[in-house]
Structure 1
Amino acid sequence: MTSLSTHVLDAVSGTPAAGMVLLLSAADGSPVASGTTDADGRARPAESLDPGTYRLRFETGAWFTAAGRETFYPEVVVSFSVTADSGHLHVPLLLSPFAYSTYRGS
């Protein structure tokens, strides 16, 4: 089985994005798991994923609003594939109000 973790960093302040809500869904939109980033901006929304396509949605708009900051992105959705031999997957998100980047981490 494949496990999933994430780490969200606020590129403007250079600090972890604590308290961001995450929603993990299957390709058909059915919910799989949810979570919230901890004080270090990290979360483990899933410990066991079957092969398939998934979408990890970061609730960036709500997070920026709670911080009293404007943003262009109300959410960031990262789609990714899990294979039988994926092992552990890590999906980091580097975030600012008007840009973001992500990659397959280790």
Structure 2
Amino acid sequence: MKKSLILVGGLLISSWTMAQNPLSVHVLNLENGLPSSDVKVTLEEQKDGQWVQISEAKTNQQGRISALFPENKPFNTALYKVTFKTGDWFKQNNQKTFFPEVPVIFQVDGSVKHYHIPLLLSPYGYSTYRGN
């Protein structure tokens, strides 16, 4: 019972954090269906045709970063790029990969308050989409 309450409380806090921050990501390993923890992820915003890094984090045990966008910064209508540093992660897990990085460029148009970018990952392929 106590473990269930802790789990539910953790999920509520995670859901609240995701609702407060406009950007989250999630990485799952397609080979075994498990989350990919410790994947370094960077966030950049395009300004005057140049990419400017505004945030960086690593995925947690569930393969998630629930608050990738910097606090106290406006989530402008702009072009953003999330880069998953997959080569480092595969190297740490003694695997080869064809994709050392997975950049995902997306347009924020103000139509939704929260963007979620999942990455389904394998050594020789990946897939991503706009989640919720």
Counterpart residue number, 2:29:
10
Distance 2:21 2:130 in 1: 14
Deviations 1:45-78 (A, max 9, x none): 1155211000000000000000000000000000
- Paired residues in the alignment total 106
Q: CA deviation at 1:2?
A: 7.0
TM-score, structure 2 length as denominator? 0.76
User: Taking CA–CA contacts closer than 8 Å with sequence separation of 6 or more, which of the two structures ends up with the larger relative contact order?
Assistant: 1
Task: Say which one has the larger Rg.
Answer: 2
Counterpart residue number, 1:45:
68
Identical residues among aligned pairs (%): 38
> Is the contact between residue 118 and residue 129 of structure 2 (CA under 8 Å) also seen in structure 1?
yes
Q: What runs of 5+ residues in structure 1 fail to find an aligned partner?
A: none
Q: What runs of 5+ residues in structure 2 fail to find an aligned partner?
A: 1-19
Distance 1:49 1:35 in 2: 18
Counterpart residue number, 1:33:
55
Select the structure that is richer in strand. Answer: 1
Please tell me the root mean square deviation across aligned C-alpha atoms, in Å: 1.5
Select the structure that is richer in helix. Answer: 2
TM-score, structure 1 length as denominator? 0.94
Moved over 3 A (4+): none
